């Protein structure tokens, strides 16, 4: 259903407010208009392009400092983190991430995004992956955006371990799921004194 410009722009504002990571292409499909029309609407409404929106969201939400590894060592771009609770990162699949013959992303990139996010969400100086159980649910292709969401399910302070679940999506479709059992540094210090 085509809407008039005013209605479309109001819905555009609401859609981007709900999901600042939506692409111009996805918006064009949603509103049955060209990508150029979406870009003109954004310009007229002073809504920045996707990359700038991601950067703005990251600056607003990265209030906690990642302790277990430097931010630049996380695979993908961390856009939200609450230590020992949850975190989100984005990875745009590019030519260097895929097999040349079929354009499908190599699995180790999806694993690395999820694993590094599981490490980053741990509120400790040092966190290491002790065990991982992973499942790839569909192939990811070049030019797709993978959004990984990590959630700390439980922490056992006596054993100095945390269980982190990471689910990765392209759009609303689950493409990867992993459970990561994380050692925390206190456990390592105990092991070194034995």
C-alpha 101 chain-centroid distance:
26
CA–CA separation, 67 vs 125, rounded Å? 5
Residue 194 has a pLDDT of 44
Q: What is the pTM of this model?
A: 0.69
Residue by residue, pLDDT tens for the chain (194 residues) are 678 889 999 999 999 888 877 889 989 999 999 999 999 999 999 998 877 777 666 655 554 466 667 667 889 988 888 889 999 999 999 999 999 999 999 999 999 999 999 999 998 888 899 999 999 999 999 999 999 999 999 998 788 899 999 999 999 999 999 999 999 876 444 444 44
For the chain, domains (ranges, CATH) are: 5-56 (1.10.10.10), 62-193 (3.10.129.10)
Contact 150, 127 (CB under 8 A): no
Burial of 124 (0-12, 13-18, 19+ CB in 10 A): buried
Contacts of 36 by beta carbon, 8 Å cutoff, 6+ apart:
none
Q: What is the pLDDT of residue 193?
A: 44
Residue 62: per-residue pLDDT = 55
What is the spatial distance between Cα 5 and Cα 111, in angstroms, rounded to a whole number?
42
């Amino acid at each position: 259903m085509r809407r008039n410009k005013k209605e479309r722009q109001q819905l555009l504002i609401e859609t981007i407010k709900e999901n600042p990571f939506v692409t111009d292409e996805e918006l064009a499909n949603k509103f049955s208009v060209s990508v150029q029309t979406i870009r003109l609407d954004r310009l007229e409404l002073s809504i920045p392009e996707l990359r700038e929106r991601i950067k703005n969201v990251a600056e607003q939400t990265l209030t906690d400092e990642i302790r277990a590894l430097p931010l630049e060592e996380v695979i993908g771009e961390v856009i939200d983190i609450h230590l020992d609770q949850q975190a989100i990162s984005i990875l745009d699949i590019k030519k260097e991430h895929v097999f040349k013959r079929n354009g499908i992303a190599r699995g180790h990139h999806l694993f690395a995004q999820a694993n590094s996010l599981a490490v980053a969400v741990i509120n400790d100086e040092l966190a290491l992956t002790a065990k991982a159980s992973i499942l790839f649910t569909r192939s990811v292709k070049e030019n797709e955006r993978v959004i990984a969401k990590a959630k700390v399910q439980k922490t056992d302070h006596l054993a100095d371990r945390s269980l982190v679940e990471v689910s990765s999506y392209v759009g609303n479709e689950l493409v990867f799921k992993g459970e990561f059992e994380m050692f925390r540094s206190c456990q390592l210090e105990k092991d070194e004194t034995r």
